[in-house]
Structure 1
Amino acid sequence: MRGRRGNDVGKRRDTVLLRTGRRAGLYGAVAAGGFRRYAAYGAATAAGVFTNTVFGFIVACTYMALWTERPGLGGYDLGQALAFVWVSQSMLAACALLGGGFQEEVQERIRTGDIAVDLYRPADLQLWWLAADLGRAAFQLVGRGAVPLVAGALVFPLALPADPQRWLLFLGSVLLGLVVSFALRWLLALSAFWLLDGSGVNLVAVVASVFFSGMLLPLTVFPGGFGELVRLLPWAAILQVPLDVLLGRHAGAAEVLRALGFQAVWALVLLGVGRLVQSAATRKVVVQGG
């Protein structure tokens, strides 16, 4: 009796492991497809690299003038401020701070009704699009991020760290930031179930992400209670936190873990809210006969 029960438990465990492995393989294939999809647009990538590089030069020159007048502004010296500019430019497309990514496509699929096909897939809708967006972000980091950063390093004195461990922590922080970025944009995509046209909410979201992520100015520049507030918002987890991890703004392992924990909490909260909204949206589709 005990032997039969042990065999049943073992079979169930093997079945769960097999299903888990298949799902991991499925989402891995979706991520690889997202990478290849954006890699196919060579001309668009080259145009994006050119735009990021030119914009980086403009912002870097502005920072040089500002930091010359206000040395140590926001707690950064000039080299750190310039590094902030060029690393943020390398992350710009990956984080989709100016739009892009998947949300417009999902909104269009909702408007046309093609989202019903997605709901019939034998895969989790949120995880499917998360995997696809991480694949897109991986290509954007390599395809549109490397060249502007190298160009900036050749012209400006960037205070980039030489410690490999700092870069590994930075990459982990970037991954968490990408998940937070996805979770915010997933909520934007789902809003189309009620708004049908997402262009307005997308525009508002771009303005918020540009201002509150630290893309234009580091969030440490903002004084008083307002500065403390913007550093607690989820957009700070996308750009400001990874850059502070890279530039060594967090002294000691405890502060680094606290920063990564801040990102992880926002990622979990926003993904959870996205689950709830997705469930409500799915019920709406069923009620409407979709």
Structure 2
Amino acid sequence: MLYGAVVAGSFRRYATYRVATAAGVVTNTAFGFVIAYTYLALWSQRPHLGGYDRAQALTFVWAGQALFALIAYGGLDELQDRIRSGDVAVDLYRPADLQLWWLATELGRAGLQLIGRGVVPMAVGALAFPLSLPGSPLTWGWFLLSVTLGVVVSFALRYLVALASFWLLDSSGLAMVSTLACMFFSGLVLPLRVFPGALADLAQLLPWAALLQVPADVLMGARTGGALLRGLAFQAAWAAALLALGRLVQSAATRKVVVQGG
């Protein structure tokens, strides 16, 4: 009940930023066209690059733009600020677990972003280009489950970065490095299957692959049957491992809370 209320409250909170949401839709749609035409040029030279045909490559582009705000490649800025200012001490006094509270907040935010900034770019992309979208409702259901797991993995990674603020005077540098790693190894720049040789194999084993590469493959039908179940298990395993690691770091960090500057 408590965390469900936090999810709903977070959804309503982010729903108030209508102008920012509209601006984000325009931005994601514009970047979608730029990247789509770049991919068309690339796939015209290599028609089956990474094992994708042209329609699948374009689907990957628009999936990336639809999920960009949902996945949140940045950090947990609000939590980092609260740790730096010492306001996190108030959070620790709440009758709620710190990690679950922020996870619920992120799920509410992600739900709003899926509707607010996810549907329109994908719809525009489907109207402008021949995309490889599923016709089965079951496949859409698997896609939404994969996206949800990706959001949890994204949160768990960013939560660890935010917790570093307990020890660092300024964790913005670490957050920037984390953002760049996330964008590169999630497949936002290029699908991980396009990477050369061992780098492609390694990248698809890292947790960032759970953010975009796996959900996009599920959406376009590149993962079915056993491959689909392995992809979902991969995401669930990283989510569980990173959340467990976050709980250990949280336990170590909150044994002694020191307010910077006082």
Identify which of 94, 98, 101 aligns with 1:125. Answer: 98
Identify which of 77, 97, 101 aligns with 2:53. Answer: 77
Matching of residues 13-24 of structure 1 within 5 Å: none
Residues 1:109 and 2:82 are matched in the alignment:
yes
CA distance in 2, matches of 1:164, 1:43: 32
Residues 1:247 and 2:224 are matched in the alignment:
no
Q: 1:211 maps to what in 2?
A: 184
Please report how far the alpha carbon of residue 216 of structure 1 lies from its aligned counterpart in structure 2 after TM superposition: 1.1
User: Does the C-alpha gap of structure 1 residues 48 and 287 become closer, same or farther in structure 2, counting only changes over 3 Å?
Assistant: closer
Residues 1:60 and 2:36 are matched in the alignment:
yes
Residues 1:87 and 2:63 are matched in the alignment:
yes
Please tell me whether the aligned partners of residues 169 and 245 of structure 1 are also in contact (alpha carbons under 8 angstroms).
Answer: yes
Please report how far the alpha carbon of residue 196 of structure 1 lies from its aligned counterpart in structure 2 after TM superposition: 2.7
Matching of residues 1-290 of structure 1 within 5 Å: 25-97=1-73, 99=74, 103-252=76-225, 254-285=226-257
Residue type of the partner of 2:121?
P
What is the SS of the residue equivalent to 2:23?
Answer: helix
CA distance in 1, matches of 2:224, 2:121: 28
What is the SS of the residue equivalent to 1:206?
Answer: helix
What is the SS of the residue equivalent to 1:55?
Answer: helix
CA distance in 2, matches of 1:251, 1:55: 29
Please tell me whether the aligned partners of residues 107 and 196 of structure 1 are also in contact (alpha carbons under 8 angstroms).
Answer: no
* Runs (5+) with no aligned partner, structure 2: none
With structure 2 as the length reference, what TM-score do the two structures score? 0.97
Rg bigger for which structure? 1
Residue type of the partner of 2:170?
D
What is the SS of the residue equivalent to 1:144?
Answer: helix
CA distance in 2, matches of 1:61, 1:284: 53
Please tell me whether the aligned partners of residues 166 and 246 of structure 1 are also in contact (alpha carbons under 8 angstroms).
Answer: yes
With structure 1 as the length reference, what TM-score do the two structures score? 0.88
Number of positions where the alignment pairs a residue of Structure 1 with one of Structure 2:
261
Alpha-carbon RMSD across the aligned residues, in angstroms, is 1.4
What is the SS of the residue equivalent to 1:284?
Answer: coil
Q: 1:17 maps to what in 2?
A: none
Point out 4+ residue stretches in structure 1 off by more than 2 angstroms.
Answer: none
Provide the identity percentage: 66
Structure showing greater relative contact order (alpha-carbon pairs closer than 8 Å, 6 or more residues apart): 2
Please report how far the alpha carbon of residue 169 of structure 1 lies from its aligned counterpart in structure 2 after TM superposition: 0.5
What is the SS of the residue equivalent to 1:269?
Answer: helix
